[in-house]
Amino acid sequence: MATLTPPASATTASSGIERHGLSDEALLDMYRTMLRIRRFEERVKELFLEARLYGSVHLYIGEEAVATGACTALRDGDVISSTHRGHGHCIAKGLELAPMMAELMGKATGYNHGKGGSMHIASLDHGMLGANGIVAAGIPISTGAALGFWVRGSEEVAVCFFGDGGANHGSFHEGINFAATLKLPAVFVCENNQYAQYHPVQQDLPIENVADRSVAYGIPGVIVDGSDVLAVYGAAKTAVDRARAGEGPTLIEAKTYRFEGHFLGDPEPYRTKEEVAQARASRDPLVRFGAILQQLGVATADRLQAIDAEVKDEVEAAVEFGEESPEPGAELLLTDIYTGADPDGRDAPRSRSETDA
């Protein structure tokens, strides 16, 4: 695994730091979260290449600052919807690595008992409404969560993560417009990582910024550097407070970059190795935030190394947990299809009791 000790350049890059009143502890938690995402994903990649893990897996490496910055602005009870590239959102929303890794391995101990895998990992208990195999489908769903809060008159906020490619889907338009007409407590975070599978963003987006589409809905549109976790936090906090105050949704576009292939196994014919190397060298959110923490005197390089060591151990423990966990038994095939009695007369006792729990 690459060491994350910041190069000199990164230090200068972060002059004039706005810490948004976040405590040292909060800042360190953010760093740890980003690192947990990075190390988790790096391990997932290794396991996949060793055929110890399978399925359609989309890594979040390079984009850690977006999920972390946005979720740091949330309270318990707030919810998020995610995408096919959802591991980072899960970790930032507080899911545990062990049941996550187990889910990616299709094990019974996974968050979804192995029935969902990477593209459907979810934990409603954590307010994580699910990764999603369908591009942009999370947008109407989070609009719906926000609608639920609005109808109920409660104070929660729904944050929706989606990609630049998703911004061209009808669900983007309908979901955001719906939320805007009712001023629902929703925040839409576009992760513009420069590519939609094999298409560079500019091929399918006839304008420069996804955020400019906020004009079509009469809501604020904000562009942030997606490799700067503090900038993302700042924009998200403003948007979340606004939503909670009943002032309606915000569209945030985080400019970021996908360091890995679209999915594990992607030959990446659509971009050069140099382009990727250049991005890794210049806009690694972890290197950047690590430098900031040192500059602020929040942590020394040694402390950051120590956190890294702890995180690696946590990830290893998750891998062990996953690998030692049992496969879901055949009896699980036909459970969880319905809540309550199954129309085909198949009972689902386990799932029902869990649901009630």
Q: Work out what residue 219 binds among Mg ion, a copy of itself, ligand TPP, none; the CB cut-off runs from 5 to 8 Å by kind.
A: a copy of itself
Spot the catalytic one: 169, 244, 270, 280. 270
Spot the catalytic one: 39, 43, 262, 283. 262
Enumerate binding residues for a copy of itself (CB under 8 A): 168-174, 177, 180-181, 203-207, 212-213, 215-219
- Cβ proximity to other proteins, 217 vs 289, nearer residue: 217
Is there a catalytic annotation at residue 288? no
Residue by residue, DSSP assigns 135-160 as: TTTHHHHHHHHHHHHHHHT----EEE
Q: Does residue 193 bind Mg ion (CB under 5 A)? A: yes
Separation of CA 51 from chain center: 24
Quote the least distance from Cβ 279 to other proteins, whole Å. Answer: 20
- Cβ proximity to other proteins, 87 vs 283, nearer residue: 87
Q: Does residue 12 bind other proteins (CB under 8 A)? A: no
Kindly tell me which residue out of 81, 214, 294, 325 binds other proteins, with binding defined by CB under 8 A: 81
> Can you name the residues that pair with 188 across neighbouring β-strands?
160, 251
Residue by residue, DSSP assigns 194-234 as: SEETTEEHHHH-SSS-GGGGGGGGTS-EEEEETT-HHHHHH
* Contacts (CB under 6 A) with ligand TPP, residues 172-211: 191, 193, 195-197
Residue 125 C-beta-side C-alpha neighbours within 13 Å: 9
- Cβ proximity to Mg ion, 118 vs 193, nearer residue: 193
Residue that the structure tokens 């990649």 belong to: 45
Contact between 79 and 355 under an 8 Å Cβ cutoff? The reply is no
- # binding residues, other proteins (CB under 8 A): 90
Quote the least distance from Cβ 127 to other proteins, whole Å. Answer: 9
Residue 71 C-beta-side C-alpha neighbours within 13 Å: 27
Is there a catalytic annotation at residue 283? no
- Cβ proximity to ligand TPP, 147 vs 196, nearer residue: 196
Whole-angstrom distance, CA of residue 54 vs CA of residue 278: 29
Q: Does residue 163 bind ligand TPP (CB under 6 A)? A: yes
Total Cβ atoms within 10 A of residue 238 = 17
Quote the least distance from Cβ 46 to other proteins, whole Å. Answer: 18
Residue 316 C-beta-side C-alpha neighbours within 13 Å: 6
Q: Does residue 229 bind other proteins (CB under 8 A)? A: no
Q: In what order do the strands lie in the sheet with 250-255?
A: 79-81, 158-163, 186-192, 250-255, 221-225
Q: Which stretch binds other proteins (CB under 8 A): 29-37, 197-205, 208-216, 252-260?
A: 197-205
| Interaction pattern, residues 154-173, with other proteins; x per rule: CB under 8 A | --x-x------xx-xxxx-x
Quote the least distance from Cβ 187 to a copy of itself, whole Å. Answer: 16
Q: What are the tokens at 124?
A: 């409603």
Whole-angstrom distance, CA of residue 284 vs CA of residue 140: 31
Quote the least distance from Cβ 32 to ligand TPP, whole Å. Answer: 23
Kindly tell me which residue out of 44, 90, 97, 146 binds other proteins, with binding defined by CB under 8 A: 146
Quote the least distance from Cβ 172 to other proteins, whole Å. Answer: 10
Whole-angstrom distance, CA of residue 341 vs CA of residue 355: 14
Is there a catalytic annotation at residue 270? yes
**Catalytic center residues:** 258, 262, 270
